[in-house]
Amino acid sequence: MERYKNLSGDSNVVAYELGQGSITVQFATGTHRTYLYDSVRPGAAMVTEMRRLAVAGRGLNSYIGRVVKGGYSGKR
């Protein structure tokens, strides 16, 4: 996994991994800390935006909380 830049300094996201049409996000806190998002859930458009935000290092946690919410494909 690649460390999330967290340019805002207040993100709960610590790392991410880009896959073929997916993104896996690791959070600092929570019962389950690693979540998979893909083209099935929450859908390709949201995953594309999540990937963009992850690479930019800003806004990923906020986007997940506001838009994606519980729309993940898997967790561990």
Residue 9: is it exposed, middle or buried by C-beta count within 10 angstroms (0-12/13-18/19+)? exposed
Given a cut of 50, the residues of the chain with pLDDT beneath it are: none
pLDDT at 67: 98
pLDDT at 30: 85
Side chain identity at residue 58, one-letter code: R
Predicted TM-score (pTM) of this structure: 0.94
CB 50 within 8 A of CB 11: no
For the chain, what are the domain ranges?
2-75
